[in-house]
Structure 1
């Protein structure tokens, strides 16, 4: 939904199996969302940590990567208990990485930057439709209410939809790919964003339509967080699990603003065949409908 990705393979002269690489051509307007040089540095750092494909080369509008011999997950895979537990453990490992640079929470800064950009791209009428003039107050409220002393900060993926998760069918090893939005953030936000992505099926006939009837139920959320904490090697208490489950639920509000702003900006700059504006409407609708329940009036 951001880049065009190609598999390139060719025969070698010495008769070895075909060589295979992945070529990523950057999507239009992506520089509005993140700094590409920072993303490349993250990509290289991930590679040195053994977390993803190796960077093989760069060109003006893209790069060449090692081809990972694994399958990309599908929407139903996220509901599979075994696969979900593997994702939870991998996410915990990812959050524990030591990445060079500032370790401050980047979520609120990014939301404000995207909001400012969205206001510049759209007319006053469009801004009114999406209530953009009210979102600065909403971001301030969420930052004030959700920032707390007990929350854990880690290096977060921030875009953990099924298409960014790969699994080797033989070893069951999970690899997280595409670090364009990765930054230090509350780990509860990354978990929340992953839960929200379970409502999406980007391979359906209407890939922009979200189905919140399949949002993980309380049991699924509890089990995921338990597996996440358990993967560190220590048995978490029920109180620890409940705390992170509750924090993650509240951070779904930040995820909806994140997705909504991403959608309306993408709708202006991206030519990929996807109804970004309708996607944004659904994310904002979820924000306003869920806020009274999660945050009070």
Structure 2
């Protein structure tokens, strides 16, 4: 039967899994010695740190438990996500999968610091992220190398149409978005664009750093797929406008969007981390592409916010988040699709 610890109802299947894992490690656990801490900031799942004492004095065993959010099957296939998780783990990236139960899974707990919103703006940390992102994009994950972005957005648009009210459909111009997706795909797709295995959700909470070794770990691969690498850079730049650990975590501040110099520096480090020094034209082209892919990013997360507002039980104002994303799309589209030059003004 389920037990409640520190406000968290531990499902019976999870308790059995933890007991089995502990036994394999030579530990003995029960509900009275488990310590459970809810980790804030996750908006797709609920995440907990669970620990218990081992047989060694002053030593604790710690795992991360992910409880799947309501309605996430509308966004991605969970079995495919688990498969991706395991593939990435085999490449030595991220945590190991320790076990699964019907409501979620247990992962290796990474003993490192999760980044904050401010950390993304630190030049040294940003450089480490850029190099790690290049490494991530070069992962050889089996499967189709076709760009997944456009079909995913069209699928999400259909879900949003089925869920939203007529008032919201009018406010967010739902009936026009299919055409907007078509326009973006035509305008942004290029035969010579680089496609890699993208994370697609590179917010600060999905990046960890070992403060001793300064090594970066990218976690949480629910939305990972092959996409243009410029889209992933766009996603990361857009996430600099967010801080999910405030009293209003849904509010975005686009005055914090990185300026041109910051974007160019990130792109140069990203491209040079493989060992080849890029020319200025290559760096500028990547930044320019990323700026335009920010439009796709706004539609992507705008649709995600709309759907989540109906299906998620996580406390977050998804609809207001979606509203801000769509507003940015319509605000930036005339400038970004009307010029071929790098924007110097940012947001």
TM-score by length of 2: 0.84
| Alignment correspondent of 1:132 | 174
How much has 1:112 moved relative to structure 2? 0.1
How much has 1:205 moved relative to structure 2? 1.1
How much has 1:296 moved relative to structure 2? 2.0
1:68 paired to 2:110? yes
| Alignment correspondent of 2:335 | 293
Counterparts of 1:202 and 1:139 in 2: how far apart (Å)? 28
| Equivalent of 2:87 in 45, 49, 60 | 45
1:230 paired to 2:267? no
- Name the SS for the 1:172 alignment partner: coil
Query: Deviation string for 1:146-170 (max 9, x for gaps)?
Result: 0002210000000000000000000
| Alignment correspondent of 2:20 | none
| Alignment correspondent of 1:247 | 289
Counterparts of 1:218 and 1:14 in 2: how far apart (Å)? 53
| Equivalent of 1:90 in 124, 129, 132 | 132
| Alignment correspondent of 1:22 | 64
| Alignment correspondent of 1:59 | 101
Select the structure that is richer in helix.
1
| Alignment correspondent of 2:142 | 100
How much has 1:194 moved relative to structure 2? 0.4
1:171 paired to 2:213? yes
Counterparts of 1:158 and 1:257 in 2: how far apart (Å)? 13
Bigger relative contact order, structure 1 or 2 (CA pairs below 8 A, ≥6 apart): 1
| Equivalent of 2:320 in 262, 270, 278 | 278
How much has 1:14 moved relative to structure 2? 4.4
Counterparts of 2:265 and 2:319 in 1: how far apart (Å)? 33
Aligned residue pair count: 297
1:218 paired to 2:260? yes
Bigger radius of gyration: 2
| Alignment correspondent of 1:109 | 151
Query: Deviation string for 1:193-237 (max 9, x for gaps)?
Result: 100000000001110000000100000000000000010101110
Query: Deviation string for 1:17-72 (max 9, x for gaps)?
Result: 21111111011111110000000001001110010100000000100000000010
Greater Cα offset, 11-20 or 23-32? 11-20
Greater Cα offset, 208-217 or 7-16? 7-16
Counterparts of 2:285 and 2:58 in 1: how far apart (Å)? 53
Counterparts of 1:132 and 1:161 in 2: how far apart (Å)? 26
Counterparts of 2:316 and 2:165 in 1: how far apart (Å)? 21
How much has 1:16 moved relative to structure 2? 7.1
Mind listing any 5+ residue stretches in structure 1 that lack a counterpart?
A: none
Counterparts of 1:263 and 1:63 in 2: how far apart (Å)? 24
How much has 1:184 moved relative to structure 2? 0.1
Counterparts of 2:44 and 2:283 in 1: how far apart (Å)? 34
How much has 1:90 moved relative to structure 2? 0.5
- Superposition map of 1:117-128 within 5 A: 117-128=159-170
TM-score by length of 1: 0.98
Counterparts of 1:26 and 1:117 in 2: how far apart (Å)? 19
1:12 paired to 2:54? yes
Counterparts of 1:126 and 1:258 in 2: how far apart (Å)? 17
Query: Deviation string for 1:87-115 (max 9, x for gaps)?
Result: 00000000000001111100000000000
| Alignment correspondent of 1:259 | 301
